[in-house]
Amino acid sequence: MRYRHLGSSSLHVSEIALGSWLTYGAGVPHERAVACVDAAFEAGINFIDTANVYARGAAEELLGEVLASRARESYVLATKLYFPMSPSDRGLSRAQVHKQLDASLARLRTDYVDLYQCHRYDDSTPLEETMSALNEAVEAGKTRYVGFSEWTPAQLSAALDLAPQGAVRFVSSQPQYSLLHRRPESEVFPLCAANGIGQIVWSPLAQGVLTGKYRAGQHPPAESRMASEEMGWAMGRYSDDVVERVQRLEPIAARLGITMAQLALSWVLRRPEVTSAIVGATRPEQVRENAAASGIQLDEQALAEIDEALG
């Protein structure tokens, strides 16, 4: 496993991070979820990403249980807030920042998280209020750093403009990014790079589509996330044309002696702006396979073949 510094922070995180959306505390049985976390540590993964809204707090609770026996300095822990936790609890107001962070810390059984992220932008709360509350959380020692997920360049620029007034600075961005979703490359990546903000990308495997497990015109495999009642509801739907083009990547991966998942992850990690790629494994063997993508270097021929295959 290789490690990279997250933006301008002092956090040194694994190139592969373990995520928990739809899986832990929800769609994956408890024993298997514990085995996935154990496999992550065995593979050198030290970066764990979650959110309060994942399984309505159950993902944080499971991680709190599993991580309780491990030295706190042995892992980097990130969580988020924004989405509703109750009809009256949502957003990025000062009250919500403090209430939701305290609740997350209790579920995670820790005094602090390393990274607290705004899961989305809150149009109903003044940005100054949000940034001030995040600064208070840092000063209180409840989070070491702060970040955001899926903010537009304009929203990020507005937050950066507050820095000279003493507002806390973001160190991380969490965008969707994969072979099939490259939008952040044009504006988000360069703006963040110029301001010491690293990318922690989610869905680098396009929710499993880039592993090659799904076939055009066929039902999803019985053991796949898309076939799961608990997890499948939130899965993206890709056209048969996209799935067929993904299948053209198989000879490329075979020539390189790697799996389709490793091809997709190493493609994401080729960008210097990307600090870590979040994977949402449902089985320990997936964790080990994904972790092995760290350090794989794709040459120019492979990159050109990938683009040609995907059109």
242 CB-contact burial (10 Å; exposed 0-12 / middle 13-18 / buried 19+): middle
297 CB-contact burial (10 Å; exposed 0-12 / middle 13-18 / buried 19+): exposed
d(CA 145, CA 108): 17
Spell out the residues 6+ positions from residue 293 whose beta carbon is closer than 8 angstroms to its own.
15, 16, 258, 261, 262, 265, 266, 269, 277
Return the closest-CA partner of residue 18 out of 105, 54, 141.
54
Determine how many CB atoms are found less than 10 A away from the CB of residue 165: 9
C-beta of residue 275 within 8 angstroms of C-beta of residue 4: yes
d(CA 190, CA 210): 25
Return the closest-CA partner of residue 155 out of 177, 132, 187.
187
* 24 belongs to the catalytic site: no
> Of 3, 24, 54, 116, which is the active-site residue?
54
User: Scanning the structure block, which residue is given the tokens 């973001």?
Assistant: 170
d(CA 106, CA 102): 6
Structure tokens at 308: 């040609």
> Where are the extended beta strands (E) located within the chain?
3-5, 12-14, 16-18, 47-49, 76-81, 113-118, 143-148, 170-173, 198-201, 274-279
Which residues are identified as catalytic? 54
